[in-house]
Amino acid sequence: MNSTPTPPEEELKRLYRLLVTVRQLDIAAVRWQRQGIIPGYAPLLGQEAAQVGSGFAVDTALDFVFPTYREMGVARAMNIDMVQYMATHKATWHGGLYDPAATHLAPIQAVVAGSVLHAVGWAHGQTLARHERQPGTGSGVALTYFGDGASSQGDVHEAMNFAAVMKAPVVFFVQNNGWAISVPTAAQVAGGTVAARAAGYGMPSLAVDGNDVVAVLAATRQAVEHCRAGNGPMLIEATTYRLGPHSTSDDPGRYRSLADEQAARSLDPVQRCADLLRTAYGMESDYFASVLADAEAETERVREGLEALEPRPGSDMFTYVFQESTPALQQQEKTWREESEHV
């Protein structure tokens, strides 16, 4: 089942606990959207191993992660406060209420492939600052996420070329979940794989089973080590399957069959990790029941925290546009205050 060496028991148990927690939070987030608690959400059902395994490999003291709008599992693996993360999905605050500088997770990015350019810029900054580091210490590494659909964006190609030329320490992590919204990978990725493109930019790549959390963790650690050592960028393509819709406004039944979804469910990453725990370390039913109960309790705490969030002040839309305001923006704020606050 798994050609990658089995991690120590405690590490594998931590990975499993994260997988179950992320699964429960993801299922609940869809339910919250249906209940009107949050207006929209991009599910990651089926992609838990790709996200938990890669996020678990991050050194949050050194590295910086640049997500899209679907990396809740990465955020949870990095111990981001889930109420603060979900604030974006509640439309309470753009990018999340968590502090990107403190957590080393960039704001949630809704622009397709937009986070890739940001990651390369940050990574190049690490290269420029190498003279400021202590001798013998490696650079921080940027880890950026995008999908098979986003890989066709021009921004990705510019970012990979720049990173390779400048030897920027950045890991390009592609979650190939089979669908660019409603378009299958085979219809929009020439050559069949995104990993094959890395050679065109002179960078190594790894193709990994994105439903195997152990394999994803090992691949990400290898890529991060490669980048930290000053060898330039690296690309990982994790092949998985998006079991749910592209977003809560999507109907996947319009472009794929139920039979395809059921076949993909046989590769369930959470179940695969549970099976490994049973065979490698003899974990029994009471352990799995305890993990599920803890995950459900955390999910309920997140729901309560989300519902308790108050709207942000309307003036924030003017405060955080520019570092120094402009006359035009000041006039807009004055008009807004007169019309909405009657001042």
Share of the chain above pLDDT 70, in %: 97
- Judge contact between 216 and 50, C-beta under 8 A: yes
Interatomic CA distance for residues 74 and 53, integer angstroms:
8
Measured CA angle at 77 (ends 76, 81), to 5 deg: 30
**Residue 229 binned pLDDT confidence (cut-offs 50, 70, 90):** very high
Strand partners, 205: 235
Weakest mean pLDDT among 56-70, 123-137, 140-154, 258-272:
123-137
Residue appearing with tokens 């798994």:
2
Strand partners, 274: none
Q: Which tens digit of pLDDT belongs to each residue from 142-159?
A: 999 999 999 999 999 999
Averaged pLDDT score across all residues of the chain: 93
The predicted model gives 312-333 an average pLDDT of 90
- Judge contact between 237 and 244, C-beta under 8 A: no
Which of 258 and 274 is assigned the larger pLDDT?
A: 274
Residue 193 has pLDDT above 50, yes or no: yes
The predicted model gives 289-300 an average pLDDT of 98
Interatomic CA distance for residues 161 and 124, integer angstroms:
12
Q: Which tens digit of pLDDT belongs to each residue from 87-110?
A: 999 988 777 899 999 999 999 998
pLDDT of residue 136: 61
Interatomic CA distance for residues 152 and 197, integer angstroms:
11
Residue 122 has pLDDT above 80, yes or no: yes
What backbone phi and psi angles, to 5 degrees, belong to 193? -135, 150
Residue 2 has pLDDT above 80, yes or no: no
Which of 263 and 203 is assigned the larger pLDDT?
A: 203
Q: Which range is most confident: 129-133, 179-183, 214-218?
A: 214-218
**Residue 1 binned pLDDT confidence (cut-offs 50, 70, 90):** very low
Residue 281 has pLDDT above 70, yes or no: yes
Q: Which domains does the chain have, with CATH numbers?
A: 9-312 (3.40.50.970), 314-343 (no CATH)
**Residue 326 binned pLDDT confidence (cut-offs 50, 70, 90):** very high
Share of the chain above pLDDT 90, in %: 81
**Residue 310 binned pLDDT confidence (cut-offs 50, 70, 90):** confident
Angle subtended by helix axes 285-308 and 9-35, to nearest 10: 40
3-state secondary structure the chain: CCCCCCCCHHHHHHHHHHHHHHHHHHHHHHHHHHHCCCCCCCCCCCCHHHHHHHHHCCCCCCCEEECCCCCHHHHHHCCCCHHHHHCCCCCCCCCCCCCHHHHCECCCCCCCCHHHHHHHHHHHHHHHCHHHCCCCCCCCCEEEEEECCHHHCHHHHHHHHHHHHHCCCEEEEEEECCEECCEEHHHCCCCCCCHHHHHHHCCCEEEEECCCHHHHHHHHHHHHHHHHCCCCCEEEEEECCCCCCCCCCCCHHHCCCHHHHHHHHCCCHHHHHHHHHHHHHCCCHHHHHHHHHHHHHHHHHHHHHHHHCCCCCCCHHHHCCCCCCCHHHHHHHHHHHHHHHCC
pLDDT of residue 157: 95
Amino acid identity at 89: H
Residue 37 has pLDDT above 80, yes or no: yes
**Residue 316 binned pLDDT confidence (cut-offs 50, 70, 90):** confident
